[in-house]
Each structure stands twice: as structure tokens, then as C-alpha cells.
Amino acid sequence: MAKETWRFIDSGNCSPSYNMALDEALLEWNSQGIIPPVIRFYGWNPATLSVGYFQKAEKEIDLDAVKEYGLGFVRRPTGGRGVLHDKELTYSVIVSEEHPEMPKTVTEAYRVISEGILQGFRELGLDAYFAVPRTEEEKQGLKNPRSAVCFDAPSWYELVVEGRKVAGSAQTRQKGVILQHGSILLDIDEEMLFNLFKYPSERVKERMQKNFKNKAVAVNALREIPVTLYEAKHAFKKGFEMGLNISLEPYTLTDEEHAYVEKIAMEKYDTDEWNYKR
């Protein structure tokens, strides 16, 4: 059977507002039938802390620390918790809810889309598998996360190697389209990460940071030979093609499309009203 062709965009390192605006524009264009499904890879300039759509930024994030580290800051259109985008490969998937291969439930759609990420890790020689909460306590923990830090615990069908989370993803559905984007950690600066959040006490912070080592891990902590960003892109592009049974065709935005994304970035994702509204 002939494989379906999806678009592949590697947009490189972009500003936080542009990154979120491009994901939104791709969702909109797919909704309008202008473009087929898309897999996109990207990075961040500067390194950025993103918060989930429902997070209370002022309450949970040390915004002074964000400034002191010279980080960008942006609110995602997707849910989930705070993510430090630094030494990572970020991906997004844009596909219609009506696509014949996409399950109707969010959880099952995660599983299908994340099959591409699973295959990517295997391309890198890592024995990744899906996290599936088994006990009632674990399931309740997903509904009531103890921490504002995304990588503190795996959710349904997120990727785990040797019992520790290696990728975090979030999903939204708008205008009949699924947008799933997420982080594949190559390296992680734990000290910086934990300095970006607020805690009831220093003791709580220390305990959580200590526990974090048992819950999350970056790719290069699992490999004898560190993986480069180039190698990671190659592995995960191949992983998505295998996992979703598709062919990826490279695409570059036109000047007109680029200008439209810039407009969304400026009018929405660059504004304090959007980023600090909760």
C-alpha cells in the first residue's frame, strides 16, 4: 500500500513566540485544507521556559530567575506543566481529528502519534517503551500532579527508558485538528530547571530535585557516545516515518506564510496578556 505523504518542516532555532505561532498557523492551515498533515522539528533561541495553557505563571514560576538566566518565556496553547527548552529536540505533529489513523480519544491519539517518537529512540539504540499507569494511585497522580515541572513524572503513553521519562508531550484539539508537541531531552541542566519554580520551602525543593533524578533522564545520560542534534533529527525523522507509516517531504515556508506567522507571534505570543494571563 502506498504511504501517505506528510510535510516535514525543520524550522531550526526560533524565538519562543514564533515557535508557538508557527504551530498555531500550521493547525489553522490544516483545518482549512490548505496543507496536509505536518511533522515539524524546532529549537529555541534563547533557551526558553514554556508553561502549559492552564498554569498559573505568577504562582508557580520564579519569573525573576527566568530573567536572570536570560531565558525566553511563553505560554503554550497546549496543557501540561513547565518545560525548560534548552538542549533538546522539540517536535510538533499537526493532523486532522478525522484522519483515518487517528483515534477519537486524546489518550489513544497520544499513543499513535508517540509511536513515531518510540521508533526514534530505538533508532538511537535506546530501549524505550510507553508509560502506562497501572495502579489507581498512579492514575490519580496524573490528574493531580504534585509538581509544576513537566518532567517530574510520565503521563499516559509518554516515553520511558530504564524507568525514567525521556520525552514529554502535550496536546490540544482546535478547529478539528490535533496539535501535539513535545520535548526530547538530549541533555538537561537540573540546577537551572529547579531554580525556575517556586516551592513552599528549600527543603521541599531539595527533596523534589533529588527525586527527579529517579524520574527523568536525558538521552545523553543513557548513551556512551553522546548524540548530536543532527543525529537526533535523523533518527526521529526516520522514527516518525516508521511509526506512522508515512513519507515525509521537506517544506520551506513562503515569505507570505512566514509574515503571517510573525503577525500571530507579535499579536498573541509576544504579549503579556497571553503569557501571564492566569
pLDDT over 70, % of the chain: 91
Q: Is 276 part of any domain?
A: no
Summarised one tens digit per residue, pLDDT across range 105-143 is 888 898 999 999 999 999 999 999 988 765 555 545 444
> Is 9 within the bounds of a domain?
yes
What single letter denotes the amino acid at residue 206? Answer: E
Instruction: Tell me: pLDDT of 71 over 70.
Output: yes
pTM of the shown model? 0.91
Which among 148, 150, 159, 227 is annotated as catalytic?
Answer: 150
User: Average pLDDT of 21-31?
Assistant: 98
Q: What is the residue range of 71's domain?
A: 3-269
Report the CATH number that the domain containing residue 255 is assigned in CATH: 3.30.930.10
**Which tens digits make up the pLDDT trace of 35-60?**
999 999 999 999 999 999 999 999 99
pLDDT at 144 over 60: no
Residue 13 has pLDDT above 90, yes or no: yes
277 domain residue, yes or no = no
Q: Is the peptide bond before 46 cis (omega within 30 degrees of 0)?
A: yes
Q: What are phi and psi of 100, to 5 degrees?
A: -60, -25
**Counted domains in the chain:** 1
Does residue 275 lie within any of the structural domains? no
Looking at the predicted structure, is the pLDDT value of residue 145 above 80?
Answer: no
Q: Nearest CA to 60 among 69, 52, 68?
A: 52
Residue 110 lies in a domain: yes
CA triplet 268, 272, 274: central angle to 5 degrees? 45
- Determine the pLDDT at residue 135: 56
Summarised one tens digit per residue, pLDDT across range 152-175 is 445 667 788 988 989 988 899 999
To the query of whether residue 14 is one of the catalytic residues in this protein, the response is no
The answer to whether residue 11 sits within a structural domain is yes
Query: Pairing mode, if any, of strands 159-161 and 128-130?
Result: antiparallel
pLDDT at 156: 64
Question: Looking at the domain assignment, is residue 262 inside a domain?
Answer: yes
Residue 80 counted as domain residue = yes
